[in-house]
Every structure is written in structure tokens, then in C-alpha cells.
Amino acid sequence: AANPKCCIEDFIRWHSPKDWDDEKQCLSERMKLPDNTWVKCWNEVRAVPVINQARLFNESKVAEEVEDNLVVF
């Protein structure tokens, strides 16, 4: 899901807390490297609201499949 006001620092604090320096309030040295994959991805991807994203998992369909395969003892 897209959060238009979110920045890479917000994402890193949530996804990889060890890469956030609380004392200095900045990214870790590893995240500051120019070729860092996370930073490159962040800068290159387009934010898309969840309502406009393709669904990756249909929980209703999976629940029905599980229900169909349950064996009653």
C-alpha cells in the first residue's frame, strides 16, 4: 500500500529497525551507501494506492478450498 507522505527513513524504521540510528536520527551507514538496493528501489518505484494494486492473495478462495478439503472425523 502506498503512503504518499512516507519517506525511506519511515520505511526503514518499520522494516529494518537495526538500520535506523535512534541517537543520530538517521539511517545506518549500510543504508547510506550509494548502491544500497533498498534505497534504489525506494527511489525508482511508483507509489500505488492499495485500491489500485493487483490482489496477490484471495483469502476467501483459499478459505473455501480449505473448507472443501477438511475431513470430518
Residue range 14-21: mean pLDDT, rounded:
96
Could you state, in order of their start, the residue ranges of all structural domains in the chain?
1-54
Question: Which tens digits make up the pLDDT trace of 25-42?
Answer: 999 999 999 899 999 999
Position of cell 543504508?
31
At 9, list the grid cell.
527513513
For the residues of 39-64, what is the DSSP string, one character each?
A: HHHHHHSPP--GGGSPPS--HHHHHH
**What's this model's pTM, rounded to 2 decimal places?**
0.63
Query: Mean pLDDT score of the chain, rounded to an integer?
Result: 89
What's the pLDDT at 1?
A: 57
